[in-house]
Amino acid sequence: MKEKDEGRLSSQRRVPEDEQLIHDDEPAPLAAQPLETLRAGYSWIKALESRHRGWQLYAVEGFPFTLPTIELDESRVCLVSLAGVYRKGQKPFNTSPGVVSPQLRSMRFRDRGDWSFREVPVSADPAELGITHAHYDHTEANEDINCVFPLARLRELEEEGFIGECAAVHYSLMGYVPEVEPILETTVKEIIPRLEAQEADAVVVSGGCALSHQSAGLIQREIEGAGIPTVGVSVCPDITYHLQVPRAVALRFPMGNPFGSSMDASMQSRILRDALSLLHAVQAPGEIVHLPYEWVKT
């Protein structure tokens, strides 16, 4: 895999004895993200291995790869986010500990996660969208959902003619799933058929927390393997790299801000444009381009 670095950052229920709820002395979810995680070379894989002893990144083989058959300005584009976005009125994602298997408990996982998905229509008002996710700081995304789910920016790119049109429906998952098989099954049985039904020509896949980036990479591979070109947007590039995704852009931005700061529509649009431009620029699988944007907060 080639990695091109162009440089910028900044209900209660009774459960069996062997499947008890996780206890309060388990590690708390990450809230404020340390600045050191934004430096070049930081390993999210090692961080997860240290936090969850015995956990290993999901092993993959080969590179799924599909070249676009039409130009970007004729393409129908869909967003798939692993950041826990839902439309108000829909059931929020489940973040309660629930039943945790002995194996996951031994690796100090707080919960099994939620591998369901939500549909978000292209007409959704940003004010209608919320986030349920306990494993990354989404303060900025609560203020401006386009930090993690740039639906407004995608609509603008359609208006400009940069893309042909937005897909009628976009998809959201929480992504924090230590056991990946259920979320892969959701992708294959539910999401891909929906993408095919609305004839999506391209899909932008992005993560939420670090573990969500594993889910994002695996989902991207499944969609690409089904014959739909994809591009990833990652702030955990080592995870994305080792999952051998078809193509992706990477940034040294905090989790919760893969498309930039809240209220910075210009940056969000640039990142989305850069990602979509890779669909035709990359002619062989496995290229990750580090975008030259710095994370600066005053």
What tens digit of pLDDT does each residue of 117-148 get?
Answer: 999 999 999 999 999 998 899 999 999 999 99
3-state SS assignment for residue 16: coil
Query: Is the Cα dihedral 189, 287, 235, 206 positive or negative?
Result: negative
In the predicted structure, residue 25 carries a pLDDT above the cut 60? no
Whole-angstrom distance, CA of residue 192 vs CA of residue 189 = 7
Q: Which two tokens stand for residue 273?
A: 């444009």
Banded pLDDT at 34 (limits 50, 70, 90): confident
* Separation between Cα atoms, residue 244 and residue 238, nearest integer Å: 10
Write out the two tokens for 149. Answer: 């789910």
Q: Phi and psi dihedrals of 285, rounded to 5?
A: -70, 150
Q: Which pLDDT tens digit goes with each residue over 184-207? A: 999 999 999 999 999 999 999 999
Predicted local distance difference test score (pLDDT) of residue 32 = 67
Q: What is the dihedral of CA 186, 56, 101, 176, to 10 degrees?
A: -40
Cβ atoms of 224 and 202 closer than 8 Å: no
> Please, which residues bridge with residue 288 across strands?
3, 248
Please give the pLDDT value at position 111: 84
pLDDT for residue 194: 98
Cα distances (Å, whole numbers) of residue 224 to 41, 89, 181, 238: 27, 31, 17, 20
- Beta-carbon contacts of 107 under 8 Å, excluding residues fewer than 6 positions away, are 52, 53, 54, 55, 178
Nearest CA to 232 out of 196, 258, 194 is that of 258
Range of lowest pLDDT (9-13, 54-58, 74-78, 163-167): 9-13
- pLDDT per residue over 81-94, tens digit each? 999 999 999 999 98
Tokens 């994305």 label which residue? 240
On whether the CB atoms of residues 288 and 4 are closer than 8 A, the answer is: yes
Position 75 pLDDT exceeds 80: yes
Mean pLDDT for 212-233 is 98
**Does residue 229 surpass a pLDDT of 50?**
yes
Write down the pLDDT at residue 96.
Answer: 75
Of all residues in the chain, what percent carry a pLDDT higher than 70?
88
Cα gap 73→55, rounded to integer Å: 42
152 to each of 122, 127, 142, 230, 269, how far by Cα in Å?
9, 11, 15, 19, 9
- CA dihedral angle for residue 280, residue 284, residue 38, residue 92, rounded to 10 degrees: 70
- With beta carbons less than 8 A apart as the criterion, state whether 198 and 133 touch: no
Looking at the chain, the whole-number percentage of residues with pLDDT higher than 90 is 79
Does position 260 have pLDDT exceeding 70, yes or no?
Answer: yes
pLDDT band at 97 (very low <50, low <70, confident <90, very high): low
pLDDT bin (cut points 50, 70, 90) of residue 66 is very high
**Helix orientation angle between 265-281 and 151-160, rounded to the nearest 10 degrees:** 70
Report residue 1's pLDDT band, with 50, 70 and 90 as the boundaries. low
**Predicted TM-score (pTM) of this structure:** 0.89
pLDDT at 149 > cutoff 50: yes
